Structure formats: structure tokens, C-alpha cells
Structure 1
Amino acid sequence: MKANPPATSGPAADFDASRAGPPVRAEPADLEPSPMSMKFVPGVIAALSMALALAACTTPQERVQQREDLLAAAGFAVRPANTAARQQALGRLPPHHFVQRTHGDTVVYLYADPLVCDCLYLGSQEAYGRYRQERLQQRLLDQQQQIADEQQMNADRFEDGAWDWGLWGPGFYR
């Protein structure tokens, strides 16, 4: 392992060894990251960051509200569950899932929301098709944004061959 010259400026120059506590004995192998472990670090960091970002972005109510905005834009009609009979009927449907019903020769799609609006969305096959198309478009845009975020994160990676891992102690990067 190559010894690094003493730092004359920057954080290493400001380091006071008398306040650092007892020295840590480290073997050369402890100071060098393994090539295999370093390969996966950016991917793991990216995946964890994305999962945390997505989890922190929306609440269940917000996700339902976003879906309902798409339903209304696609042409679904909203019917409030404002009577006891409607409340009972709404309770018989699975919440936040589509149910297909046939009424005569007409296919109707139902979407029950007891959480946000306490209502029922009713739509035709055409409205359901527009909704699905819009959801697909939204997912594609979300994926494109995720790829752009990951590319930016990779572009921001710190690559400095002169970086001295030994200053920070062994073990944190394994």
C-alpha cells in the first residue's frame, strides 16, 4: 500500500490527533475496499434512495386521489354514498379496485372509494380504456423520471483517485 504524504491544507491538515482517541490498528486489507463490494455500492445506494423517495412522496390517500383524478378525467361519473342504502351498497364492493358489471347489454366499470370521497365511480368501456391509457402514460413518465434521477446520481458519483480512505477508518465501506 502506498503511503500518502501529509496534508498541508484542507480537512486532513485540521485534524488534531490528540483529540481523536486511541489509534485504531488496521491491516492494509482493512483499508482497501474489495473490488466486488465497491461494484455494488452505487446500485444499492440508488435502489435504497429511490425506495425511500417513493415511500416518502405519497400517502395512501394521495395515491387514491391521484387515481380518482384520472378516473374523472377519463369520463367516470362520481356518485356520492350519501344515503344509508348507498353506504351499504358501497360497502359490498372491494375498496379501490375495479369491478366490471354488466347491466343489460352495457358493461359498466365500478370503482368504490370509502376512504377519500366516500363515493362510487361509474364508467363505460370507453372511459375505462381512456383511464388505462392515461395510467400507462403516467407510469412511462414516472419511469423516465426515475431513470433521469438515477443518471444524475451516477453523474454525481465521487471519483477521486487521491482520496485517502484511511483517514476515515476501516470498515464503513464494506
Structure 2
Amino acid sequence: MVFDGLPAIRRHEAGSTEQLLAAAGFQTRPADNPERVHDLAVMPPLKIVARNQDNDVRYTFADPYKCRCLYVGGSKEYLAYQRLVTEQQIAQERLWAEEDRMNWGLWDPWYWR
């Protein structure tokens, strides 16, 4: 039996990104009309795409796996998203550094004492 975990990974990846996009102020637009269904089908999945619209840059994220929706925001929302991603990365690195300092337990090399 072969297990394909790729759809589960994609759903998890989408969920994490979607939380940050929503927190940054991106608007959720379900693919509930022919135009949005088409946009969802032709856009690269799980990638933020920038495009010019009415002399402004619009950022769109297509999720055909989890919510089957589009996230749409402008420059302000995209900058907020980038800030949140950076904050999340810094927090994760701090957590890993803290775990590295604390987790020797029984595996503490005796010759380092």
C-alpha cells in the first residue's frame, strides 16, 4: 500500500499561510462564481502572486486544497504579512535555541563537564 501524504502536507502548509494572511488583513474570497473558479484554477497554488490592478499592486494567494478560496490584499497587507512571517521565524529560531540548551538530559556528554 502506498500512502500519498502530499495532500495533507499541502493542507497544513495552506493553513499556516492562511492564518498569517488573515492576520495581516488579506480578504478571503471563496471561489463561488465562474470568474473566481477560473482564477483559482489558473493561479499557482499556495503562492503569493503580485499583479498590477488600477495603478496599484494587488497580492493574491490561491488555495485550491483547503478553503478553495483566494486571499486578496494590497501593499499594506503584504507588508504586514511579511512582518508576521519574520516574527514567526524569529520566534521559532528562539524556541529551537532554547530547546538546544535544555535537552541534553541523559545524553549529556560526560567529557564536557
TM-score over 0.5 (shorter chain): yes
Give the CA deviation at 1:83.
Answer: 2.5
Higher strand share: 2
Instruction: Verify: 1:109 aligned to 2:59, yes or no.
Output: yes
Amino acid at match of 1:103: Q
Q: Share of identical aligned residues, percent? A: 29
Task: Identify the residue that residue 71 of structure 2 maps to in structure 1.
Answer: 121
The alpha-carbon deviation at position 154 of structure 1 amounts to 3.2
Other-structure match for 1:90: 40
Aligned to 2:107: 157
State the SS of the aligned residue for 1:82: coil
Structure 2 residue 25 is matched with structure 1 residue 72: no
Matched residue count = 104
Unaligned 5+ residue runs, structure 1? 1-57, 162-174
Verify the 8 A CA contact 2:10 2:65 in the aligned structure 1.
Answer: no
State whether structure 2 residue 98 is matched by structure 1 residue 148: yes
Instruction: Point out the structure with max Rg over C-alpha.
Output: 1
1:74-100 deviation digits (Å, cap 9, x = unpaired): 010111001233212211100000110
TM-score, structure 2 as length reference:
0.82
